[in-house]
Amino acid sequence: MKLLGTDSVLVRGEEGIKLYYNEELIDRQGAMPGLIGEPLFGHGSVHSMDGEAHRRRKNTFVQAAYVDEQVERLTPYFEREWTRERDEWIAGGTRSAYDAAVGALGRGIQRWAGLPGTADAKTRFAARLAQIVDGFGAVVEPAYVLAWANRKWCDQHAAELIEAVRAGTLEAREGTALHAWAWHRELDGELLDARLAGIELQNILRPTIAVARFVAFAAKELEARPEWRARIAQESAERGGVLVGGPLAVAFAQEVRRTAPFVPMLPGLAKRDIEFAGETIPAGTRVFIDIQGTNHDPAAWDDAEAFNPERFLGHEDYEALTSFVPQGGGEVPTGHRCPGEKVAIAGLSAAITAMSDPRLAILPEGLEVNRRRFPTKPSSGGRLRSIAKQAGVGCPVEH
């Protein structure tokens, strides 16, 4: 096919995954068009790297966000923030699922990462990072210009945090992402430039906040499946009201990640002529992995188009599912698979449990999805309301 004016090939399924993540055949550097990759990832980020330099920088992401100890340290922050959002809905709050998630995920991940500031300041920073995700692919909309403006502001803010840690005017506790990126050294032994260290710090924060889009899709799927809401609510009650990590909520989260049209494809460049599926892919050709097609591949998934969380029950090692690539494929430590999936699943499962509370209703209006926009989400973001408030139960002075 022709894409962005160049010859391109779209591959999908297990064989497509094996090809796309073979670093001897496919190069990531220069594959993402700058007008899309620059506002989203930042100039010089890990996403454009390959080889030993990539593995060196990727290791800091792994140690900061992927190892189980870090995910366990994050869980209480998500538990607290989603409890707060649920209670605000019960009390009559009107934030959409998407907006609530931007705040809850953003405050939680910033506190975990060691960033300073008030809750309101963290919410504002999270909103800027969320807008970058909203606007980076909408190149013909005003949102794209705003994404560049927010990229500039966020880069400056994050660089100042890194510089303050290095100067000793801001304490960063060892084990936090802020500490990890402030003191990260490249292959040559030199500290990473403060601007670039700040960009990589954002590349832990922003993808976590982007999970808010999955939360909006989860609201849509929960509204259509009251039986799953009841099951998840019962699971939470049996776990003492805990929001994060219930097996049913996790299975529902995984099916949302499989089916939601969030990231449709990712690009690479053929390093040399490649023989694949009876075709020759010439060197220099853009090779796109079809994320949506792979996640819906009928060769890998029974009844692939159906939304069925049951398929994930008992599948704790989701990375072993080759055709499950909602946030990329391959190996986490050495390849390009996103190291933040455990974080995403924790935050999304907490959101799903919170939205399944029987004291809340998910409104059916505004759940349509514009599949011609990238990135997309249900138009309303998923609206939740307190059942008691809708019924007029509560303080009569309020009415």
Domains of the chain: 2-398 (1.10.630.10)
Q: What is the dihedral of CA 240, 244, 246, 249, to 10 degrees?
A: 130
**363 three-state secondary structure:** coil
> What is the rounded CA–CA span in Å between residue 164 and residue 114?
13
Phi, psi of 180 (to 5 degrees): -60, -45
Q: Name the token pair of 342.
A: 């455990």
pTM, rounded to two decimals:
0.92
Contacts of residue 237, Cβ cutoff 8 Å, sequence gap at least 6 = none
Q: What is the pLDDT of residues 39-56, one digit of tens each?
A: 777 776 766 666 787 788
- Contact at 8 Å (CB) between 338 and 327? yes
SS3 65: helix
Helix ranges restricted to H, the chain: 13-20, 34-41, 51-61, 68-90, 97-113, 119-135, 142-167, 177-182, 194-224, 226-238, 247-259, 291-295, 341-355, 387-390
- Closest by Cα among 387, 313, 398 to 355: 387
Low-confidence winner among 152-161, 165-174, 267-276 (lowest mean pLDDT):
267-276
pLDDT at 45: 73
| pLDDT number for residue 396 | 40
CA dist., res. 126 & res. 110, Å (int)? 9
CA 277 to chain centre: 32
Q: Does residue 208 surpass a pLDDT of 70?
A: yes
Could you give phi then psi for residue 149, rounded to 5 degrees?
-65, -45
pLDDT tens digit sequence for 106-161: 999 999 999 999 999 999 999 999 999 998 877 778 989 999 999 999 999 999 99
pLDDT above 90 covers what percent of the chain?
Answer: 70
